């Protein structure tokens, strides 16, 4: 949305399809339509800052050629060759996972959170992510908030979409306090950036 003068000296809100919300993801195209922001995934193999796009996420590798001669591509990560030999090496926390290898699945052995694909190592086993585990994992955008299942995040916490924030405002992947110029109906507004405490009355 953007504001413009209607020629009679009155500000009005109009749809601006060029004002796309940046989701901070190198592997999506940020666009707008009449229903809101649209983030279309780029084709697999498109270059991104961390490597290559795969299913809308920037990953280190998608094929063997993306890694050095001594590494292999396993679960989109370049890892040492011993990570795919079906044995538990000295630096692995479980068979072919953890340590320098790809993260382990739930139930496998771990030492630190980074050893687990869930991001949660509890009692030396990879655990399923929860919305009360003190970690930013699963679909969460920050620690135990945002995403599909967790409560909305507070101002200053990380977000991907407006819905991730209690304020309803996600700018630059950070939840912001509501204002009368953020293009979103929030706070005590009765319309988008109008009514309530805002200086502009809603039509």
Q: Is residue 142 a part of any domain in this protein?
A: yes
pLDDT at 34 over 80: no
Q: Which long-range contacts (CB under 8 A, 24 or more apart) does 129-137 make?
A: 137/113
Question: Given this model, what pLDDT does residue 2 score?
Answer: 56
Contact 114, 101 (CB under 8 A): no
SS3 per-residue string spanning the chain:
CEEEECCCCCEEEECCCCCCCCCCCCCEEEEEECCEEEEEECCCCCEECCEEEECCEEECCCCHHHCCCCEEEECCEEEEHHHHCCCCCCCCCECCECCCCCCECCCCECCCHHHECCCCEECCEECCCCCCCCCCCCCCCECCECCCCCCCECCCCECCCHHHECCCCEECCEECCCCCCCCCCCCCCCECCECCCCCCCCC
Residue 156 CB contacts under 8 Å (≥ 6 apart), including other chains: 174, 175
Contact 103, 97 (CB under 8 A): yes
Answer with the one of 42, 58, 74 that is the final residue of a domain.
Answer: 42
The CA R_g of the chain, rounded to the nearest whole Å, is 22
pLDDT at 16 over 60: no
Q: Is residue 130 a part of any domain in this protein?
A: no
Count of beta carbons in the 10 Å neighbourhood of residue 201: 12
- Give the angle subtended at the CA of 138 by the CAs of 133 and 139, to the nearest 5°: 120
Question: Given this model, what pLDDT does residue 18 score?
Answer: 58
Question: Given this model, what pLDDT does residue 175 score?
Answer: 92
pLDDT tens column, 41-57: 999 999 998 899 999 99
Question: Given this model, what pLDDT does residue 5 score?
Answer: 66
Q: Is residue 99 a part of any domain in this protein?
A: no
Q: Two tokens at 70?
A: 């001594």
Q: Is residue 123 a part of any domain in this protein?
A: no
Contact 197, 187 (CB under 8 A): yes
Indicate the pTM of the whole model.
0.60
Q: Is residue 7 a part of any domain in this protein?
A: yes
Q: Is residue 104 a part of any domain in this protein?
A: no
pLDDT tens column, 59-113: 999 999 999 988 999 989 999 999 999 999 889 999 999 999 999 999 999 999 9
Question: Given this model, what pLDDT does residue 142 score?
Answer: 95
Question: Distance between CA atoms of 60 and 51, rounded to whole angstroms?
Answer: 5
Q: By residue range, what is the domain housing residue 179?
A: 136-191
Question: Given this model, what pLDDT does residue 126 score?
Answer: 96
How many separate domains does the chain show?
A: 2
Q: Is residue 92 a part of any domain in this protein?
A: no
Q: Is residue 164 a part of any domain in this protein?
A: yes
pLDDT tens column, 119-151: 899 999 999 999 999 999 888 999 999 999 999
């Amino acid at each position: 949305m953007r504001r413009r003068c209607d020629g009679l000296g009155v500000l009005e809100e109009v749809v601006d399809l060029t004002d796309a919300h940046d989701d901070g993801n190198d592997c999506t195209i940020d666009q707008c339509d009449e229903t809101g922001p649209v983030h279309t995934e780029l084709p697999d193999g498109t270059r991104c800052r961390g490597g290559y796009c795969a299913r809308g996420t920037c990953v280190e590798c998608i094929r063997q050629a993306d890694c050095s001669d001594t590494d292999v591509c396993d679960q989109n990560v370049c890892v040492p060759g011993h990570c795919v030999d079906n044995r538990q090496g000295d630096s692995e926390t479980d068979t072919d996972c953890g340590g320098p290898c790809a993260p382990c699945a739930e139930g496998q052995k771990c030492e630190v959170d980074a050893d687990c694909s869930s991001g949660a190592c509890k009692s030396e086993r990879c655990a399923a992510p929860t919305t009360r585990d003190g970690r930013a994992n699963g679909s969460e955008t920050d620690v135990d908030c945002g995403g599909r299942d967790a409560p909305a995040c507070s101002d200053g916490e990380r977000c991907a979409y407006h819905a991730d924030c209690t304020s309803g405002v996600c700018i630059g992947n950070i939840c912001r306090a509501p204002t009368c110029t953020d293009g979103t109906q929030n706070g005590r507004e009765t319309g988008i950036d109008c009514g309530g405490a805002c200086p502009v009355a809603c039509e």
